[in-house]
Structure 1
Amino acid sequence: MTNLLSKTAVIHRPSNERFHSRLNWLDSRHTFSFSNHFDPAWTGFGPLLVINDDTIAAGEGFGMHPHRDMEIITVMVEGQINHQDSMGHAEVLRAGEVQRMSAGRGIVHSEMNRGQSPCRLLQIWIAPVHKGLEPSYEQRHIDVGKAWTPLLNPDPSQGAMAIDRPVRLWRAQPKQGQELILPAESGDTLWLQLINGSVQLEGIDGDAPDALQCGDGLGLRNQRNWTLTSQTDEADLLLFSLA
């Protein structure tokens, strides 16, 4: 796997350069190589291997399929998805909820939109530290505010979920004109993913864009003094701390 971390201090992934899968029931954008889409320059950012932005038509979805040795995070953006798996879970994941699934030594699951309208979700794959773990599942509603709200944290007592990798993940929905700075707990390897809206960027060294638009991603190394300002009331973004 090509390690994007070794290339430069700033990696920009514009929304319109992502891979695109389109079926009559699925519209999916892939930040990194996925399925039949492969580019050796875009096989992940450290342990962050997949960010898929999926819109699934009502009554459709992914039938039973296997996974193993992967930490899978689903962030629901709009609508709902019905989850069923070989561990015995049959759950409905709704907008505002987050799902953590540790595939471990192997699971089979399905994701079907049983709602009345299309749903949108981000599915994220992170490489675990250990292989062959006992599979596990967790989901919860997490109220996201204008500031950085933790979704993943190595210490689950912080109100977030933990995976088999010391990764932190925050989500924020700032209002227009609001400024966000880097969380104090973040490390030196970061990925910023814009779900909706647009944000202005300041204080990033190197060849960085002045702004990010819906669907854009930005990888950062050793960048500690940057800020972002929401340009819309619809801004919605994820921030990963990977190391």
Structure 2
Amino acid sequence: MTTYLHHSEDRGHVKAGWLESKHSFSFGSWYNPEFMGIGSLRVINDDIIAAHKGFGTHPHDNMEILTCVLQGTISHKDSMGNQSQIHAGEWQLMSAGTGIQHSEVNQGDEALHLLQIWIIPNVQNAEPTYQQIECDPKQTPNVWQLIVGPNANAPMHIRQNAEVKTAFLQKDHTLNVEATQKFNYVHVIEGEIEILGQVVKAGDALFFDDLATIQAHVDSQFIWFDLNN
């Protein structure tokens, strides 16, 4: 069995005006050759966006871009004609494919907190798509909630042999990690959990390649990436 605990303090911390971000993996101006992603999982950015600020129109291609809003509301607009609001407890998936232009702006009066996650697709130059769902694990604690997957029955379809699940686990409760793929990567949003004898705190993540049980030391929210490569 292989495990690796990625500590929160080892993330890149970038603060530039209206944006404060913590990068789990190398991104933008922050580069660390030891943290280049886990298989097809390339980016986890923990972003705080100031009121009335955000990312102006910019391009992406050939990337699966998953956004999890934790606090506030972000306004989305893209070159496919989509205009939407993504509220706390909602998730957005953009499959950039052959190319897309989009903007993401915090139009509220308070800071916005979100996770931006990039997964490398296994299909290149496909038609861009946009998907959005509501899934707040705090409403249904102590169970896994599937967010994206490669099959048609997933709430949002991703172009990669991977699943992303989330859970809110109440203190002293447990959840089993029953992987369908090769690698597991659990990122803790808030709280503190234990996996395979490792204590994983908010901002930490644990990589492991076997079955496991998660136990919550306190009420905790986290994301599980079930990855083939």
TM range (shorter): over 0.9
Q: 5+ unaligned residues in a row in structure 2: which ranges?
A: none
1:155 corresponds to? 151
Greater fraction strand: 2
State the alpha-carbon separation in 2 of the partners of residues 182 and 41 from structure 1. Answer: 26
1:138 aligned to which of 127, 131, 136: 131
* Structural mapping, 1:146-185, within 5 Å: 146-158=142-154, 160-183=155-178
- Kindly provide the amino acid, as one letter, of the partner of residue 152 in structure 2: P
1:195 corresponds to? 189
TM-score by length of 2: 0.94
1:216 corresponds to? 204
- Kindly provide the amino acid, as one letter, of the partner of residue 156 in structure 2: M
Cα deviation, 1:48-73, whole Å, max 9, x if unaligned, reads 00000101111011111110010000
Equivalent residue pairs, number = 225
- Kindly provide the amino acid, as one letter, of the partner of residue 95 in structure 2: S
Cα deviation, 1:146-199, whole Å, max 9, x if unaligned, reads 2111001222324x211110111110001111111113x532311110011111
1:38 corresponds to? 31
Secondary structure at 1:191 match in 2: strand
- Kindly provide the amino acid, as one letter, of the partner of residue 228 in structure 1: I
- Kindly provide the amino acid, as one letter, of the partner of residue 227 in structure 2: L
Structure 1 vs Structure 2: percent identity of aligned residues?
36
CA RMSD of aligned residues (A): 1.4
State the alpha-carbon separation in 2 of the partners of residues 157 and 227 from structure 1. Answer: 25
Secondary structure at 1:16 match in 2: helix
Q: 5+ unaligned residues in a row in structure 1: which ranges?
A: 1-7, 204-209
Give the conservation status (yes or no) of the 8 Å contact 2:93–2:130.
yes
Give the conservation status (yes or no) of the 8 Å contact 2:51–2:106.
yes
Residue 240 in 1 paired to residue 225 in 2? yes
Secondary structure at 1:12 match in 2: strand
2:74 corresponds to? 81
